[in-house]
Amino acid sequence: MGEHYGPVTLHSAAVATAVGAVIDVRRYLTKIIEIVTASSFDGTADIQGSLDGTNFVNCRYAPLATTGALGYVVAQLTYTNDASRAFFIVTDYWPYIRVNMTRTDGNITVKLQAISEGSAA
């Protein structure tokens, strides 16, 4: 019988620089990213994955909506003078994840939560 661990908050920080922290998620099966933008945020965000923690590419994710089916995308998120809170599930296996951001105004806050599943000893 498998044990359920989590959710665990692996990272939570305001992102004021172009590249967010690189988070090691090798132990976790389910990864959920929360992005909160301030009302003055103008910019873009890319959810990126890496196999080695150095070379990153945009990775596939699904926006978690309150209604409708999950739609998987690999796309840059664009915000214009936007205040929002959104959740995304990373659907592929990437050992390392980060959120890469460009901006002309404002900041975003990024939180990564993860859930692992294992077997009882």
For the chain, 121 residues long, give each residue's pLDDT as a single digit of tens. 334 344 445 555 555 444 566 767 766 777 888 888 877 888 888 998 889 888 999 999 888 875 666 678 888 888 888 788 888 888 788 888 888 888 888 778 888 877 765 534 4
Sequence-ordered alpha helix ranges (H) in 32-114: none
The CA distance from 26 to 94, in Å, is 7
Distance from the first to the final alpha carbon of the chain: 10
Check residue 57 and give its pLDDT.
92
Spans of all domains in the chain? 2-110
What pTM value is reported for the model?
A: 0.75
Q: Residue 2: what pLDDT?
A: 39
- Give the span between the Cα atoms of 68 and 105, in whole angstroms: 32
- Cα–Cα distance measured from residue 41 to residue 81, given in angstroms and rounded to the nearest whole number: 5
Could you give the angle at the alpha carbon of 30 between the alpha carbons of 26 and 31, nearest 5°?
80
